[in-house]
Chain A
């Protein structure tokens, strides 16, 4: 019995991680305080990292935790602590678009699910057949232009962030 359990451990863990990620994502919609929402999102991201690890793309799992959870979400949590505004959006967490929003999301899910049923057939969860070496070679030989474009995007983002802060400061003075 232990042997069959261990043989199916990967699939079982995949199910558990997927379910936990889904629960975290659903909690994001209903929790009140932004910090609780951030914690739910962080748990979802960590479970997704676990899924990536189980699928065999370990470097993406590492970067999921390093970039998303560490950089992006720590930034987010920091801003939430900075802006603890108890305003209208805290007492009434939903806008007047609740029903249209839920209906639209459900329709989107139904359409995507229908496309999934028509299109690709489900595959068994095996580990990927490309490793880090193949990924790195493809990244820097085939996709070097996209890589350079993202670096341009990063520079533009830094300049834009500085411009937003500078512009608002100038308006305050004037």
Chain B
């Protein structure tokens, strides 16, 4: 059941990243995906009674903190240039 919940959280986060337009909401959906992965890791650690899963969860905490510490300044710089949080407004790399 918990693995099912982890899968659902990951899939919902992925849908959110694709479907929403707001940059901050997309970032938060990525956090939701990380949370789903964390839940699956904890469940696996519980199934196998080893500490490896819990160690990985800790490393993911650190990676999530680092990710948000980089992503937020990037969003701030983008908004300062264009005054919008709409992801569709940033199409310089559009082919």
Q: Residues of A with Cβ closer than 8 Å to B?
A: 14-15, 18, 21-22, 25-26, 28-29, 34, 37-38, 41, 44-45, 48, 51-52, 55-57, 59-60, 63-64, 67-68, 71-72, 75-76, 79-80, 82-83, 85, 87-90, 92-95, 97-98, 100-102, 104-106, 108-109, 112-113, 116, 120, 122-123, 125-126, 128-130, 134-135, 138-139, 142-143, 146-147, 150, 153-154, 156-158, 160-161, 164-165, 167-168, 172
B7 touches A68 (CB 8 A): no
B75 CB contacts on chain A under 8 angstroms: 79, 83
Residues of B within 8 A of A64 (CB): 38
Given contacts A95-B87, A165-B73, contact A109 B28 (CB under 8 A): no
Residue numbers in A under 8 Å from B57 (CB-CB): 60
Q: Which residues of A contact B22 (CB under 8 A)?
A: 34, 89-90, 93
Dominant secondary structure at the B interface: helix
Known: A34-B22, A37-B28, A80-B24. A22 touches B14 (CB 8 A): no
* Contact yes or no, A89 B29, CB < 8 A: no
Q: In whole angstroms, how far apart are the Cα atoms of A116 and B58 in the complex?
A: 24
Q: Which residue of A has the minimal Cβ distance to B19?
A: A101
Question: In the assembly, what is the distance between CA of A129 and CA of B19, in Å?
Answer: 41
The interface residues of chain A lying within 8 Å CB-to-CB of B19 are 29, 94-95, 97-98, 101-102
In residues 37-58 of chain B, which contact A (Cβ within 8 Å)? Answer: 38-39, 42-43, 45-47, 49-52, 54-55, 57-58
